[in-house]
Every structure is written in structure tokens, then in C-alpha cells.
Amino acid sequence: MKKVLITGATGFIGSNLAKKLLSLHSYSVRIFVRPDSNLTRIQGIKQKLDIFTGDLCKKEDILKSLKGVDMLIHLASILKRGWHQDYEKYNIQVSRDLFQQAAKQKLQKIIYLSSLAVMKGTRSPYIYTESDPVSPKTLYGRSKIEVEKIAQDLVRRQKANIIILRPPAVYGEEDNFDRGFIRLIDMIARNSFIPFHDMKNFMSLIYIGNLMDAILTCMKNRKADQKTYFVADREIFTTRELYRLVIRLTAGREKKWRAPTFSVKILEALLENTARVFGYLPNFPEDFVDDMICNYMCSSNKIQSELGWKPPFTLQEGFTRTVYWYQQTRK
């Protein structure tokens, strides 16, 4: 039985992955948690996990956590709201130390979860592939690129077996109510979301069940070794279509009025600058409005052709499951 170490296992993606791996009865799962980590999401499986408590900023803790491990899945990351120094310390430096130690111990596989945020989005419809040059516009995206460079350097110099996955925005059960698509679903269901005038942009998304399947495919298939892949749902919807889908699933009401995009961008900039002047972070993602009006699409053709991976869930099925979980949890 292979032993897998997961960082970020108490988060949305990591907790789903830990549960999935345990359900297969083919993997022993160790998770790296901080002393103050919230274990709510893994409460039901704690007894089945090997829980290592430490600090990812300490090399000695990284070394101890990797002892006896066959595979590493690195998910821990500051998401789309943080200070520059935080991304440098927690996203880049932690990943560098973790990958270097894992490479020294010659782990069978290291899987790093990067992001479509390594691309900046486009005004006109365009589908990114792995051959496109990276073009991040946010601190989060830039930190992901820096980690990818560290991984690729270790692949070249030490033949480390690092696989990079670049998903778009992930949605699904167990997501946080204060961010991501669950927050949007909640706002739409409560009739408090004001749609923008421009909602004709196309978006790639990935359901958590599809992302779990892609990770498992890379864990099992040697053809994935040392490769980089975009992974996404089969379907690409416009923001307006997603808005109407959630309205239908939640029995909400579509607003006829649309907020002028220019006005919303001015408000976003005002809130952003005011927050930073007073030394705190705004309660919305960096470049939130641009993310809602730009085209963000990626192709999964490479992983499909090389590994035979196909998303097991349609976008409709993914959103139906997500909304059902939201409704049950909200009760």
C-alpha cells in the first residue's frame, strides 16, 4: 500500500482528496497540518489518517513529514487574496523547500496543483493550451508560475518526477461559504447578487469530482510523469449561462437590472485602494471584476489524448450536486 502525503488536506480540495484516497483502500494517507488547523472537514476520517502536525516553513518538519512517503500531493497555498510577502513565504519558499526535500528522497511522484491563473484571461474568446506562454496578472498567478519554475528546474537537474496540474476555478461540495462559487451560489439564492452588464464571457471550470479523478489518473499513469496539464470540465459556459443555471437550480429570480461594468470596476478599485491604505485585505479576490468579465478558458485535450482522461461528471451534474450540498448545509 503506497503512502501519500497531502499538504493543504484540511481545505476544500485537500479534504475531498483525502476522503477519496481512503475510499479506494489502496493508499495510506498522511496529512500535514498546522497546530492551529481547522479539522472540521476531516472530522469523519481523522481516525483513518496519519496526521503530522508541524510548520511547512521549517525544513526539519518537512523532512520528518516525508519519512516513509511514496508520493507527495502539494495543495497548500495562499489563495487569491494576500500580501506580496505572504505569497513569497508561503507559496514559493515553502514549495521550494518541500520539492527539494522530496526530490532528495526520490519520491515516486510529486503532484503540484498550480492554476489557470498562470494565464491572464482574454478580452476575446481564446482557449489556452500548455504550449501558450504564461502571462499571470495577479500575485497569486505569479506565485504559481514561480513554483512551476522551481519544479521544472528540479525535473531538469535532478530528474525529479514532478507533475503539474493547472485547473481553472474549482467548485463542489465542502467549499467555503465566504468565497468561491459557494459564495456566489449563496448570493444568487438569496437574491443579493447583482449581475454585471457584460456577462457574455466564456469560462472553464472544474467540478471537485473531476479534479479528484484527474489527480488519481496522474498518480496511477506513468505517462503523466514530469508533465504539465490543464484539467477542466468538458463544457464551457458563459457567465450569464452559469448565472441562469444557478437560478434554475436554486429556484431563484433573475434580476432584470444589470450593474454597469465600468461603475463596478471603479467601486472595486476604490475598495481595494482604501483597504490597502488602512493595512487590511479586501473581502473579495484580487481582480474580481476582471475575472467575471474576461474569457478564461483552457483545453484538456493533452491529458485526454496522452492519459485517456475524461471528466466523469458533466458541468450540469457538478453544479446540481454542489447546489444540493449547499441547500442541505444551509439548513
The string of pLDDT tens digits covering residues 74-116 is 999 977 566 778 889 989 999 999 999 999 999 999 999 999 9
CA atoms within 13 A on the CB side of 78: 23
Closest CA to 37 of 52, 23, 59, 47: 52
In a domain, 183, yes or no: no
In a domain, 330, yes or no: no
99: containing domain: 2-172+205-234+298-312
In a domain, 250, yes or no: no
Q: What is the pLDDT of residue 326?
A: 94
Q: What is the pLDDT of residue 184?
A: 85
- The DSSP letter of residue 284 is S
In a domain, 271, yes or no: no
Q: Are 22 and 48 in contact (CB under 8 A)?
A: yes
In a domain, 306, yes or no: yes
- C-alpha 39/C-alpha 36 separation (Å) is 9
Closest CA to 311 of 320, 327, 323, 299: 299
Residue 131: give its domain's CATH number: 3.40.50.720
- DSSP per-residue string spanning 197-247: S----EE-EEEHHHHHHHHHHHHH-GGGTT-EEE---S--EEHHHHHHHHH
Q: What is the pLDDT of residue 82?
A: 64
Closest CA to 243 of 232, 251, 254, 233: 254
Burial class (CB in 10 A: 0-12, 13-18, 19+), 107: buried
Closest CA to 160 of 111, 113, 106: 106
Q: What is the pLDDT of residue 84?
A: 76
Q: What is the pLDDT of residue 211?
A: 98
Rg (CA), the chain: 20
In a domain, 256, yes or no: no
Q: What is the pLDDT of residue 294?
A: 85
In a domain, 181, yes or no: no
Residues 147-160 pLDDT 10s: 999 999 999 999 99
Structural domain count of the chain: 1
Query: 3-state class of 67 per DSSP?
Result: coil
Cross-strand partners of 23: none
CA atoms within 13 A on the CB side of 44: 8
In a domain, 160, yes or no: yes
pTM to 2 decimals?
0.92
Q: What is the pLDDT along the chain (331 residues), one digit of tens a residue?
A: 899 999 999 999 999 999 999 999 999 999 999 999 999 999 999 999 999 999 999 999 999 999 999 999 999 997 756 677 888 998 999 999 999 999 999 999 999 999 999 999 998 999 999 999 999 988 899 999 999 999 999 999 999 999 999 999 999 998 988 777 888 899 888 888 878 767 889 999 999 999 999 999 999 999 999 999 999 999 999 988 999 999 999 988 888 777 776 666 666 667 666 766 666 666 555 566 666 678 999 999 999 999 999 999 999 999 999 999 999 998 7
Cell numbers placing 202: 466564456
Angle at 128 between CA 124 and CA 130, to 5 degrees: 160
